[in-house]
Copies of this chain bind each other. A is one copy, B any other.
Amino acid sequence: MSKKLTKRSEDYSKWYNELVVKADLAENSAVRGCMVIKPYGFAIWEKMQAQLDKMFKETGHQNAYFPLFVPKHLFEAEEKNAEGFAKECAVVTHYRLKTDPNDKSKLIVDPEAKLEEELVVRPTSEAIIWNTYKNWIQSYRDLPIKINQWANVVRWEMRTRLFLRTSEFLWQEGHTAHATKQEALEETELMNNIYAEFAEKFMAMPVIKGSKTESERFAGAVETYCIEAMMQDGKALQAGTSHFLGQNFAKAFDVKFTSKEGKLENVWATSWGVSTRLMGALIMTHSDDNGLVLPPNLAPTQVVIVPIYKGEGQLEEISKVANKLADDLKEAGISVKYDDRDTQKPGWKFAQYELQGVPVRLAIGPKDLEKGSVELARRDTLAKEFVNQTEVVEKVKHLMVEMQDTLFDKAFNFRNEHITEVDSFDEFKKVLKEKGGFISAHWDGTAETENKIKGLTKATIRCIPFNSEKESGSCVLTGKPSEQRVLFAKAY
Protein backbone atom coordinates (compact mmCIF):
# COMPACT_ATOMS: atom_id res chain seq x y z
CA MET A 1 0.00 0.00 0.00
CA SER A 2 1.41 3.37 -1.01
CA LYS A 3 2.10 5.75 1.84
CA LYS A 4 1.26 8.71 -0.38
CA LEU A 5 -1.83 10.62 0.69
CA THR A 6 -4.19 12.73 -1.33
CA LYS A 7 -3.35 16.38 -0.58
CA ARG A 8 -5.62 18.29 1.78
CA SER A 9 -6.00 21.07 -0.78
CA GLU A 10 -7.18 18.56 -3.38
CA ASP A 11 -9.78 16.73 -1.36
CA TYR A 12 -9.82 17.24 2.38
CA SER A 13 -12.36 14.53 3.02
CA LYS A 14 -10.46 11.95 0.97
CA TRP A 15 -7.21 12.97 2.69
CA TYR A 16 -8.83 12.27 6.07
CA ASN A 17 -10.23 8.89 5.09
CA GLU A 18 -6.91 7.77 3.63
CA LEU A 19 -4.91 9.01 6.58
CA VAL A 20 -7.03 7.14 9.12
CA VAL A 21 -6.51 3.89 7.25
CA LYS A 22 -2.88 4.32 6.15
CA ALA A 23 -1.67 5.47 9.56
CA ASP A 24 -3.18 2.27 10.99
CA LEU A 25 -5.68 4.08 13.19
CA ALA A 26 -8.95 2.42 12.21
CA GLU A 27 -10.81 0.78 9.38
CA ASN A 28 -14.33 -0.13 8.40
CA SER A 29 -15.65 -3.50 9.51
CA ALA A 30 -18.05 -6.08 8.15
CA VAL A 31 -20.78 -4.45 10.23
CA ARG A 32 -22.39 -1.47 8.54
CA GLY A 33 -21.13 1.75 10.13
CA CYS A 34 -19.06 0.04 12.85
CA MET A 35 -15.30 0.46 12.88
CA VAL A 36 -12.31 -1.57 13.96
CA ILE A 37 -9.97 0.57 16.03
CA LYS A 38 -6.52 -0.76 15.24
CA PRO A 39 -3.76 -1.06 17.85
CA TYR A 40 -2.04 2.21 16.98
CA GLY A 41 -5.30 4.16 16.98
CA PHE A 42 -6.37 2.47 20.17
CA ALA A 43 -3.07 3.35 21.87
CA ILE A 44 -3.81 7.04 21.26
CA TRP A 45 -7.37 6.58 22.59
CA GLU A 46 -5.92 4.88 25.69
CA LYS A 47 -3.70 7.90 26.34
CA MET A 48 -6.77 10.14 26.08
CA GLN A 49 -8.75 7.85 28.38
CA ALA A 50 -6.01 7.72 30.98
CA GLN A 51 -5.75 11.51 31.17
CA LEU A 52 -9.50 12.14 31.22
CA ASP A 53 -10.00 9.41 33.80
CA LYS A 54 -7.39 11.06 36.01
CA MET A 55 -9.11 14.43 35.69
CA PHE A 56 -12.51 12.91 36.50
CA LYS A 57 -11.17 11.16 39.58
CA GLU A 58 -9.34 14.26 40.77
CA THR A 59 -12.68 16.06 40.74
CA GLY A 60 -14.38 13.40 42.86
CA HIS A 61 -15.94 11.12 40.25
CA GLN A 62 -15.95 7.34 40.42
CA ASN A 63 -16.31 4.80 37.64
CA ALA A 64 -19.07 2.21 37.51
CA TYR A 65 -20.78 0.06 34.89
CA PHE A 66 -24.42 -0.12 33.85
CA PRO A 67 -26.14 -2.55 31.46
CA LEU A 68 -25.72 -2.37 27.69
CA PHE A 69 -29.45 -2.85 27.22
CA VAL A 70 -32.33 -0.57 28.07
CA PRO A 71 -35.77 -2.24 28.35
CA LYS A 72 -38.20 -0.44 26.06
CA HIS A 73 -40.47 0.78 28.87
CA LEU A 74 -37.52 2.55 30.53
CA PHE A 75 -36.33 3.93 27.23
CA GLU A 76 -39.76 5.51 26.77
CA ALA A 77 -39.91 7.16 30.17
CA GLU A 78 -38.25 10.49 29.42
CA GLU A 79 -40.27 11.60 26.44
CA LYS A 80 -37.84 13.95 24.71
CA ASN A 81 -34.88 11.66 25.23
CA ALA A 82 -36.86 8.75 23.78
CA GLU A 83 -38.01 10.83 20.84
CA GLY A 84 -34.45 11.94 20.16
CA PHE A 85 -32.94 8.48 20.05
CA ALA A 86 -35.79 6.17 18.92
CA LYS A 87 -35.08 6.94 15.28
CA GLU A 88 -31.63 5.44 15.33
CA CYS A 89 -31.44 2.65 17.85
CA ALA A 90 -30.50 -1.01 17.53
CA VAL A 91 -33.23 -3.24 18.96
CA VAL A 92 -32.75 -6.74 20.37
CA THR A 93 -35.89 -8.79 19.87
CA HIS A 94 -34.72 -12.41 20.27
CA TYR A 95 -32.31 -14.33 22.50
CA ARG A 96 -31.52 -17.40 20.42
CA LEU A 97 -30.65 -18.60 16.95
CA LYS A 98 -31.40 -22.10 15.71
CA THR A 99 -30.38 -24.26 12.79
CA ASP A 100 -32.25 -23.48 9.59
CA PRO A 101 -34.35 -26.60 8.86
CA ASN A 102 -33.90 -25.95 5.12
CA ASP A 103 -30.12 -25.60 5.28
CA LYS A 104 -28.28 -27.18 8.17
CA SER A 105 -25.23 -24.94 7.66
CA LYS A 106 -27.30 -21.81 8.32
CA LEU A 107 -28.78 -20.28 11.43
CA ILE A 108 -32.09 -18.46 11.71
CA VAL A 109 -33.72 -16.47 14.47
CA ASP A 110 -35.67 -18.85 16.69
CA PRO A 111 -39.24 -17.50 16.70
CA GLU A 112 -39.83 -19.22 20.03
CA ALA A 113 -37.11 -17.14 21.63
CA LYS A 114 -38.81 -13.79 21.23
CA LEU A 115 -38.26 -11.45 24.16
CA GLU A 116 -41.35 -10.40 26.07
CA GLU A 117 -40.06 -6.85 25.95
CA GLU A 118 -37.64 -5.50 23.37
CA LEU A 119 -34.26 -4.25 24.53
CA VAL A 120 -32.66 -1.13 23.11
CA VAL A 121 -28.88 -1.17 22.81
CA ARG A 122 -27.96 1.97 24.78
CA PRO A 123 -27.52 5.07 22.63
CA THR A 124 -26.83 6.87 25.94
CA SER A 125 -27.52 5.68 29.47
CA GLU A 126 -29.64 8.27 31.25
CA ALA A 127 -32.69 5.98 31.31
CA ILE A 128 -31.04 2.87 32.73
CA ILE A 129 -28.95 4.91 35.16
CA TRP A 130 -31.75 7.06 36.55
CA ASN A 131 -33.86 3.97 36.98
CA THR A 132 -30.97 2.66 39.12
CA TYR A 133 -30.35 5.91 41.00
CA LYS A 134 -33.95 5.77 42.10
CA ASN A 135 -33.00 2.96 44.51
CA TRP A 136 -29.83 4.64 45.67
CA ILE A 137 -31.28 7.98 46.67
CA GLN A 138 -33.53 8.56 49.66
CA SER A 139 -31.98 11.42 51.57
CA TYR A 140 -29.77 14.45 50.95
CA ARG A 141 -27.07 12.35 52.64
CA ASP A 142 -27.05 10.10 49.54
CA LEU A 143 -26.16 13.10 47.36
CA PRO A 144 -24.27 14.04 45.34
CA ILE A 145 -23.67 10.93 43.23
CA LYS A 146 -20.87 11.53 40.75
CA ILE A 147 -20.37 8.55 38.47
CA ASN A 148 -18.65 8.08 35.16
CA GLN A 149 -18.84 5.11 32.81
CA TRP A 150 -16.50 4.11 29.97
CA ALA A 151 -18.63 2.23 27.50
CA ASN A 152 -19.69 1.50 23.96
CA VAL A 153 -22.92 2.97 22.64
CA VAL A 154 -24.87 2.46 19.44
CA ARG A 155 -26.69 5.02 17.31
CA TRP A 156 -27.78 3.68 13.98
CA GLU A 157 -26.30 6.31 11.67
CA MET A 158 -27.07 6.17 7.99
CA ARG A 159 -23.95 8.02 6.81
CA THR A 160 -20.85 7.12 8.74
CA ARG A 161 -17.18 8.13 8.75
CA LEU A 162 -14.36 6.58 10.74
CA PHE A 163 -14.18 8.14 14.23
CA LEU A 164 -16.39 11.10 13.28
CA ARG A 165 -19.70 9.32 12.99
CA THR A 166 -20.00 5.59 13.53
CA SER A 167 -22.94 3.40 14.50
CA GLU A 168 -21.02 2.03 17.47
CA PHE A 169 -18.57 4.27 19.25
CA LEU A 170 -16.65 4.29 22.50
CA TRP A 171 -17.15 7.08 24.97
CA GLN A 172 -17.41 8.06 28.57
CA GLU A 173 -20.64 9.29 30.02
CA GLY A 174 -20.80 11.02 33.37
CA HIS A 175 -24.09 10.96 35.24
CA THR A 176 -24.42 13.00 38.39
CA ALA A 177 -27.24 13.58 40.86
CA HIS A 178 -27.48 16.64 43.09
CA ALA A 179 -29.64 18.13 45.83
CA THR A 180 -29.75 21.61 44.33
CA LYS A 181 -30.06 23.25 40.96
CA GLN A 182 -27.06 25.42 41.73
CA GLU A 183 -24.82 22.44 42.42
CA ALA A 184 -25.93 20.68 39.24
CA LEU A 185 -25.25 23.81 37.19
CA GLU A 186 -21.80 24.09 38.72
CA GLU A 187 -21.08 20.46 37.87
CA THR A 188 -22.24 21.02 34.28
CA GLU A 189 -19.83 23.93 33.97
CA LEU A 190 -16.98 22.15 35.75
CA MET A 191 -17.08 19.21 33.37
CA ASN A 192 -17.26 21.45 30.32
CA ASN A 193 -14.19 23.22 31.68
CA ILE A 194 -12.41 19.92 32.19
CA TYR A 195 -13.11 18.97 28.59
CA ALA A 196 -11.76 22.34 27.45
CA GLU A 197 -8.63 21.92 29.56
CA PHE A 198 -8.07 18.43 28.20
CA ALA A 199 -8.60 19.58 24.60
CA GLU A 200 -6.21 22.49 24.92
CA LYS A 201 -3.46 21.02 27.11
CA PHE A 202 -3.36 17.47 25.82
CA MET A 203 -4.83 17.54 22.33
CA ALA A 204 -3.28 20.98 21.69
CA MET A 205 -6.66 21.86 20.21
CA PRO A 206 -8.13 25.28 21.03
CA VAL A 207 -11.84 25.25 21.78
CA ILE A 208 -14.61 27.75 22.32
CA LYS A 209 -16.86 27.14 25.29
CA GLY A 210 -20.48 28.03 25.02
CA SER A 211 -24.05 26.82 25.28
CA LYS A 212 -26.17 25.23 22.58
CA THR A 213 -29.37 26.69 21.21
CA GLU A 214 -32.56 24.82 21.98
CA SER A 215 -32.58 22.99 18.65
CA GLU A 216 -29.02 21.75 19.09
CA ARG A 217 -29.49 20.64 22.70
CA PHE A 218 -29.21 17.05 23.91
CA ALA A 219 -32.61 15.36 23.87
CA GLY A 220 -33.88 15.68 27.43
CA ALA A 221 -31.54 18.47 28.57
CA VAL A 222 -32.46 21.91 29.89
CA GLU A 223 -29.07 23.33 28.89
CA THR A 224 -26.22 21.86 26.86
CA TYR A 225 -22.75 23.36 27.25
CA CYS A 226 -20.15 22.43 24.69
CA ILE A 227 -16.64 22.87 23.46
CA GLU A 228 -16.35 23.64 19.75
CA ALA A 229 -13.16 23.21 17.77
CA MET A 230 -12.25 24.17 14.25
CA MET A 231 -10.76 21.79 11.75
CA GLN A 232 -8.23 22.76 9.07
CA ASP A 233 -10.94 22.85 6.40
CA GLY A 234 -12.76 25.52 8.36
CA LYS A 235 -15.53 23.24 9.54
CA ALA A 236 -16.51 23.10 13.19
CA LEU A 237 -16.41 19.97 15.31
CA GLN A 238 -18.31 19.58 18.56
CA ALA A 239 -15.70 17.97 20.77
CA GLY A 240 -17.55 17.49 24.05
CA THR A 241 -20.86 18.31 25.68
CA SER A 242 -22.02 18.72 29.24
CA HIS A 243 -25.74 18.75 29.96
CA PHE A 244 -27.76 20.30 32.74
CA LEU A 245 -30.75 17.95 32.81
CA GLY A 246 -32.76 19.86 35.39
CA GLN A 247 -35.26 17.54 37.05
CA ASN A 248 -36.40 15.94 33.79
CA PHE A 249 -35.00 12.48 34.48
CA ALA A 250 -35.79 12.62 38.20
CA LYS A 251 -39.40 13.28 37.27
CA ALA A 252 -39.51 10.64 34.55
CA PHE A 253 -38.11 8.01 36.93
CA ASP A 254 -39.62 9.41 40.12
CA VAL A 255 -36.31 10.02 41.90
CA LYS A 256 -36.97 12.03 45.06
CA PHE A 257 -34.95 12.78 48.17
CA THR A 258 -35.68 14.16 51.61
CA SER A 259 -33.89 17.48 51.95
CA LYS A 260 -32.14 18.76 55.09
CA GLU A 261 -35.35 20.61 55.80
CA GLY A 262 -37.34 17.38 55.62
CA LYS A 263 -39.05 18.15 52.31
CA LEU A 264 -39.44 15.60 49.51
CA GLU A 265 -37.84 17.00 46.34
CA ASN A 266 -36.85 15.85 42.89
CA VAL A 267 -33.16 15.32 42.30
CA TRP A 268 -31.16 17.54 39.91
CA ALA A 269 -29.09 15.90 37.20
CA THR A 270 -26.21 16.37 34.80
CA SER A 271 -24.65 14.20 32.15
CA TRP A 272 -21.54 14.78 30.04
CA GLY A 273 -19.54 12.91 27.49
CA VAL A 274 -16.72 12.75 25.02
CA SER A 275 -16.18 9.96 22.54
CA THR A 276 -13.81 8.40 20.02
CA ARG A 277 -14.91 11.34 17.87
CA LEU A 278 -12.06 13.16 19.62
CA MET A 279 -9.74 10.97 17.56
CA GLY A 280 -11.17 12.55 14.42
CA ALA A 281 -10.75 16.01 15.93
CA LEU A 282 -7.14 15.29 16.90
CA ILE A 283 -6.31 14.03 13.43
CA MET A 284 -7.93 16.93 11.60
CA THR A 285 -6.52 19.65 13.84
CA HIS A 286 -2.82 18.96 13.31
CA SER A 287 -2.09 16.50 10.53
CA ASP A 288 -0.56 17.44 7.19
CA ASP A 289 -0.12 16.04 3.69
CA ASN A 290 2.60 13.68 4.94
CA GLY A 291 0.35 12.09 7.51
CA LEU A 292 -0.57 12.25 11.15
CA VAL A 293 0.89 14.89 13.45
CA LEU A 294 0.51 14.07 17.13
CA PRO A 295 1.03 16.34 20.10
CA PRO A 296 3.71 14.81 22.34
CA ASN A 297 1.26 14.55 25.28
CA LEU A 298 -0.85 12.01 23.40
CA ALA A 299 1.72 10.23 21.25
CA PRO A 300 2.01 6.54 22.21
CA THR A 301 5.61 6.67 20.97
CA GLN A 302 7.22 10.07 21.40
CA VAL A 303 10.61 9.24 19.93
CA VAL A 304 11.65 6.65 17.40
CA ILE A 305 15.28 5.76 16.76
CA VAL A 306 16.23 4.41 13.33
CA PRO A 307 19.67 2.92 12.63
CA ILE A 308 21.26 3.53 9.23
CA TYR A 309 23.79 0.84 8.54
CA LYS A 310 25.45 -1.55 6.15
CA GLY A 311 26.13 -4.99 7.55
CA GLU A 312 25.73 -6.59 10.98
CA GLY A 313 28.93 -5.13 12.43
CA GLN A 314 27.86 -1.55 11.87
CA LEU A 315 24.41 -2.27 13.26
CA GLU A 316 25.98 -3.61 16.43
CA GLU A 317 27.96 -0.42 16.99
CA ILE A 318 24.96 1.77 16.28
CA SER A 319 22.75 -0.34 18.52
CA LYS A 320 25.03 0.29 21.47
CA VAL A 321 24.54 4.02 21.11
CA ALA A 322 20.84 3.67 20.30
CA ASN A 323 20.04 1.44 23.25
CA LYS A 324 21.89 3.75 25.61
CA LEU A 325 19.95 6.72 24.24
CA ALA A 326 16.68 4.81 24.49
CA ASP A 327 17.38 3.93 28.12
CA ASP A 328 18.27 7.50 28.99
CA LEU A 329 15.15 8.83 27.29
CA LYS A 330 12.94 6.29 29.07
CA GLU A 331 14.47 7.33 32.34
CA ALA A 332 13.52 10.89 31.55
CA GLY A 333 9.90 9.75 31.12
CA ILE A 334 9.90 9.77 27.32
CA SER A 335 8.32 6.85 25.46
CA VAL A 336 10.76 5.60 22.87
CA LYS A 337 11.03 2.83 20.32
CA TYR A 338 14.24 1.57 18.74
CA ASP A 339 13.34 0.12 15.37
CA ASP A 340 16.21 -2.15 14.33
CA ARG A 341 14.09 -4.47 12.17
CA ASP A 342 16.08 -5.75 9.22
CA THR A 343 12.96 -6.45 7.16
CA GLN A 344 12.50 -2.77 6.28
CA LYS A 345 14.85 -0.11 4.93
CA PRO A 346 15.47 3.22 6.72
CA GLY A 347 13.58 5.16 4.06
CA TRP A 348 10.52 2.97 4.56
CA LYS A 349 10.74 3.50 8.30
CA PHE A 350 11.12 7.28 7.95
CA ALA A 351 7.98 7.43 5.83
CA GLN A 352 6.09 5.12 8.18
CA TYR A 353 6.81 7.13 11.33
CA GLU A 354 6.09 10.36 9.53
CA LEU A 355 2.74 8.91 8.43
CA GLN A 356 2.04 7.82 12.00
CA GLY A 357 2.98 11.16 13.50
CA VAL A 358 5.76 10.15 15.89
CA PRO A 359 6.88 13.56 17.23
CA VAL A 360 10.66 13.05 17.11
CA ARG A 361 12.78 10.81 14.91
CA LEU A 362 16.42 10.15 15.68
CA ALA A 363 18.59 8.60 12.99
CA ILE A 364 22.04 7.21 13.70
CA GLY A 365 24.45 6.32 10.91
CA PRO A 366 28.16 5.48 10.69
CA LYS A 367 29.13 9.16 10.45
CA ASP A 368 27.21 9.88 13.62
CA LEU A 369 29.28 7.22 15.38
CA GLU A 370 32.44 9.10 14.36
CA LYS A 371 31.08 12.51 15.30
CA GLY A 372 29.12 11.49 18.40
CA SER A 373 25.99 12.96 16.86
CA VAL A 374 22.46 11.92 15.86
CA GLU A 375 20.16 13.41 13.28
CA LEU A 376 16.99 14.72 14.91
CA ALA A 377 13.85 15.39 12.90
CA ARG A 378 10.73 16.91 14.40
CA ARG A 379 7.41 15.90 12.91
CA ASP A 380 5.54 19.18 13.29
CA THR A 381 7.87 21.44 11.31
CA LEU A 382 9.77 18.64 9.52
CA ALA A 383 12.97 20.50 10.54
CA LYS A 384 16.14 18.44 10.91
CA GLU A 385 19.33 19.10 12.81
CA PHE A 386 22.36 17.28 14.15
CA VAL A 387 22.56 17.01 17.91
CA ASN A 388 25.37 15.81 20.15
CA GLN A 389 24.55 12.43 21.61
CA THR A 390 25.19 13.82 25.08
CA GLU A 391 22.59 16.54 24.53
CA VAL A 392 19.80 14.43 23.07
CA VAL A 393 17.87 13.84 26.29
CA GLU A 394 17.75 17.50 27.24
CA LYS A 395 16.92 18.49 23.69
CA VAL A 396 14.07 15.98 23.46
CA LYS A 397 12.65 16.91 26.87
CA HIS A 398 12.61 20.50 25.77
CA LEU A 399 11.05 19.61 22.42
CA MET A 400 8.19 17.70 24.03
CA VAL A 401 7.07 20.95 25.62
CA GLU A 402 7.91 23.16 22.68
CA MET A 403 6.15 21.00 20.10
CA GLN A 404 3.06 20.79 22.27
CA ASP A 405 3.01 24.59 22.44
CA THR A 406 3.84 25.06 18.76
CA LEU A 407 0.97 22.82 17.72
CA PHE A 408 -1.45 24.61 19.99
CA ASP A 409 -0.33 28.05 18.82
CA LYS A 410 -0.59 27.09 15.18
CA ALA A 411 -4.10 25.75 15.65
CA PHE A 412 -5.00 28.72 17.82
CA ASN A 413 -3.89 31.23 15.19
CA PHE A 414 -5.63 29.32 12.42
CA ARG A 415 -8.82 29.22 14.44
CA ASN A 416 -8.69 32.93 15.30
CA GLU A 417 -8.01 33.88 11.70
CA HIS A 418 -11.13 31.95 10.80
CA ILE A 419 -13.57 33.69 13.07
CA THR A 420 -15.21 36.43 11.03
CA GLU A 421 -17.70 38.96 12.26
CA VAL A 422 -20.37 39.62 9.67
CA ASP A 423 -23.34 41.94 9.75
CA SER A 424 -25.29 41.11 6.63
CA PHE A 425 -26.60 37.87 5.20
CA ASP A 426 -24.82 38.42 1.89
CA GLU A 427 -21.54 38.74 3.73
CA PHE A 428 -22.50 35.67 5.76
CA LYS A 429 -22.89 33.55 2.64
CA LYS A 430 -19.77 34.99 1.00
CA VAL A 431 -17.54 34.31 4.02
CA LEU A 432 -18.99 30.86 4.50
CA LYS A 433 -18.33 29.99 0.89
CA GLU A 434 -14.94 31.61 0.38
CA LYS A 435 -13.28 31.34 3.75
CA GLY A 436 -15.28 29.03 5.97
CA GLY A 437 -14.64 28.90 9.70
CA PHE A 438 -16.79 30.41 12.42
CA ILE A 439 -19.05 33.28 11.53
CA SER A 440 -19.81 35.57 14.43
CA ALA A 441 -23.16 37.13 13.81
CA HIS A 442 -26.26 38.48 15.45
CA TRP A 443 -29.28 36.20 15.63
CA ASP A 444 -32.81 37.00 16.73
CA GLY A 445 -32.96 34.07 19.13
CA THR A 446 -35.64 32.07 17.32
CA ALA A 447 -35.45 28.46 16.17
CA GLU A 448 -37.25 29.57 13.02
CA THR A 449 -34.42 31.86 11.92
CA GLU A 450 -31.81 29.29 12.93
CA ASN A 451 -33.58 26.72 10.76
CA LYS A 452 -33.90 29.06 7.82
CA ILE A 453 -30.21 29.87 7.90
CA LYS A 454 -29.41 26.16 8.11
CA GLY A 455 -31.66 25.47 5.15
CA LEU A 456 -30.08 28.25 3.09
CA THR A 457 -26.43 27.71 3.96
CA LYS A 458 -25.99 24.39 5.85
CA ALA A 459 -24.43 26.44 8.65
CA THR A 460 -25.73 25.84 12.17
CA ILE A 461 -25.28 27.74 15.39
CA ARG A 462 -22.33 25.97 17.00
CA CYS A 463 -22.68 27.79 20.28
CA ILE A 464 -23.55 30.93 22.14
CA PRO A 465 -20.04 31.63 23.44
CA PHE A 466 -19.65 32.16 27.18
CA ASN A 467 -16.97 34.77 26.75
CA SER A 468 -18.70 36.97 24.21
CA GLU A 469 -19.69 40.43 25.27
CA LYS A 470 -23.20 41.77 25.19
CA GLU A 471 -23.55 43.93 22.13
CA SER A 472 -26.66 45.37 20.58
CA GLY A 473 -27.19 44.47 16.95
CA SER A 474 -29.69 43.14 14.50
CA CYS A 475 -30.19 39.60 13.30
CA VAL A 476 -28.18 38.79 10.22
CA LEU A 477 -31.23 37.27 8.54
CA THR A 478 -34.32 39.00 9.91
CA GLY A 479 -32.89 42.28 11.15
CA LYS A 480 -34.68 41.82 14.45
CA PRO A 481 -32.88 43.04 17.57
CA SER A 482 -30.19 40.90 19.18
CA GLU A 483 -28.06 41.32 22.29
CA GLN A 484 -25.18 39.01 21.51
CA ARG A 485 -23.28 37.50 18.62
CA VAL A 486 -23.36 33.71 18.24
CA LEU A 487 -21.07 31.42 16.24
CA PHE A 488 -22.29 29.84 13.03
CA ALA A 489 -20.38 27.23 11.03
CA LYS A 490 -20.72 24.20 8.86
CA ALA A 491 -19.98 21.33 11.14
CA TYR A 492 -18.89 17.70 11.29
* A345 CB-CB contact with B under 8 Å: no
Nearest chain B CB to A197 CB, angstrom units: 23
Whether B156 lies near A96 (C-beta < 8 A) is yes
Q: Of A75-83, A355-363, A391-399, which binds chain B?
A: A75-83
* Complex CA–CA separation, A39 to B132 (angstroms): 13
**Residues in B neighbouring A309, C-beta threshold 8 A:** none
* Complex CA–CA separation, A141 to B348 (angstroms): 15
Whether A37 lies near B65 (C-beta < 8 A) is yes
Q: Which residue of B lies closest to A118 (CB)?
A: B109
Whether B65 lies near A36 (C-beta < 8 A) is yes
Nearest chain B CB to A145 CB, angstrom units: 9
Q: Which of B38, B91, B106, B141 contacts A76 (CB 8 A)?
A: B106
Nearest chain B CB to A336 CB, angstrom units: 15
* Complex CA–CA separation, A68 to B343 (angstroms): 35
**Residues in B neighbouring A99, C-beta threshold 8 A:** 86
**Residues in B neighbouring A68, C-beta threshold 8 A:** 34, 121, 152, 154, 168
* Complex CA–CA separation, A120 to B75 (angstroms): 21
* Complex CA–CA separation, A451 to B255 (angstroms): 51
Q: Which residue of B lies closest to A341 (CB)?
A: B141
**Residues in B neighbouring A118, C-beta threshold 8 A:** 97, 109
* A42 CB-CB contact with B under 8 Å: yes
**Residues in B neighbouring A168, C-beta threshold 8 A:** 67-69
* A316 CB-CB contact with B under 8 Å: no
Nearest chain B CB to A170 CB, angstrom units: 7
Instruction: List residues 71-112 of chain A with CB under 8 A from any CB of chain B.
Output: 71-72, 74-76, 79, 82, 86-99, 105-107, 109
Whether A98 lies near B69 (C-beta < 8 A) is no
Tallying the copies of this chain within the complex gives: 2
Q: Which of B42, B88, B135, B170 contacts A62 (CB 8 A)?
A: B42
Whether B66 lies near A29 (C-beta < 8 A) is yes
Nearest chain B CB to A268 CB, angstrom units: 20
* A179 CB-CB contact with B under 8 Å: no
* A147 CB-CB contact with B under 8 Å: yes
- Chain A 32-58 against B: per-residue CB contact (8 Å), 1 yes, 0 no? 001111110011001000000000000
The interface centre, meaning the residue of A30, A37, A63, A91 with most chain B CB atoms within 10 A of its CB, is A91
* Complex CA–CA separation, A68 to B155 (angstroms): 12
**Residues in B neighbouring A87, C-beta threshold 8 A:** 96-97
**Residues in B neighbouring A86, C-beta threshold 8 A:** 96-99, 107
Whether A62 lies near B39 (C-beta < 8 A) is yes
**Residues in B neighbouring A98, C-beta threshold 8 A:** 86
Q: Which residue of B lies closest to A100 (CB)?
A: B76
Q: Which of B63, B95, B106 contacts A88 (CB 8 A)?
A: B95
Nearest chain B CB to A93 CB, angstrom units: 5
Beyond A64-B37, A67-B35, A69-B34, is A92–B90 a contact (Cβ under 8 Å)?
A: yes
Whether A94 lies near B95 (C-beta < 8 A) is no
Nearest chain B CB to A466 CB, angstrom units: 31
* Complex CA–CA separation, A88 to B62 (angstroms): 32
**Residues in B neighbouring A27, C-beta threshold 8 A:** 132, 135
Whether B93 lies near A94 (C-beta < 8 A) is yes
* A383 CB-CB contact with B under 8 Å: no
* Complex CA–CA separation, A43 to B64 (angstroms): 8
Beyond A31-B69, A36-B65, A46-B63, is A92–B95 a contact (Cβ under 8 Å)?
A: no
Q: Which residue of B lies closest to A79 (CB)?
A: B105
- Chain A 132-148 against B: per-residue CB contact (8 Å), 1 yes, 0 no? 10010000010000010
Q: Which of B31, B46, B109 contacts A71 (CB 8 A)?
A: B31
Q: Which residue of B lies closest to A62 (CB)?
A: B39
Q: List 26 A-B contacts (CB under 8 A).
A: A29-B66, A29-B67, A30-B74, A30-B128, A31-B67, A31-B69, A34-B67, A36-B65, A39-B64, A68-B121, A68-B154, A69-B90, A72-B97, A76-B106, A76-B107, A82-B107, A86-B98, A88-B95, A89-B95, A90-B95, A91-B97, A92-B92, A92-B93, A95-B156, A96-B156, A151-B152
Query: A68-B168, A91-B95, A92-B92 given. 5 additional CB < 8 A pairs?
Result: A72-B97, A86-B107, A91-B96, A92-B93, A93-B93
